[in-house]
Amino acid sequence: MNINYLAILVCAILSMVVGGMWYGPLFGKKWMEIIGANPADLERRKEMQKSAGPLYVVQFLLTLFQLWILAYYIGTWTNMSGLMNAIWIWAGFIVPTIAGSCMWNNDSKKVSWARFLIQVGYQLVMFAIFGTILGNWR
């Protein structure tokens, strides 16, 4: 079973780009509201930006690991396309995990649903991209 490491790297880079768009121009205002951040608080934003660098590195490494496993899974399950494999993994593992983390907090139902839809939507887009790339670029 060959794993295309360049495809994994491309997917990981795309996840950072799409994440920047998803949690920036597309849903950034709502996301800031959900997490309780005040965009007008420039001092707090500078503090958050300073501490974000190492977190981006950790997130990138975790995404590489996730993609390696997904590439292996897609490569060994040959009776489905990469996209279908990724969608089933998203539905069976990602959605329940995110749902649990959104349900069991002190947020209102409205905030919990917004958090869930933003996060699960991002993961759906990413897994569709990942499955398509990893399934076709072997």
What are the pLDDT digits (tens) for 115-138? 999 999 999 999 999 999 999 987
- Say whether pLDDT at 87 is over 90: yes
- Say whether pLDDT at 67 is over 80: yes
- Say whether pLDDT at 54 is over 90: no
- Integer Cα distance of 104 and 130 in angstroms: 29
The number of domains in the chain is: 1
pLDDT the model gives residue 44: 73
pLDDT the model gives residue 105: 85
- Assign 43 a pLDDT band (cuts: 50, 70, 90): confident
Percent of the chain whose predicted confidence (pLDDT) is above 70: 99
Provide CB contacts within 8 A for 95, sequence distance 6+: 120, 123
Q: Which domain holds residue 24?
A: 5-136
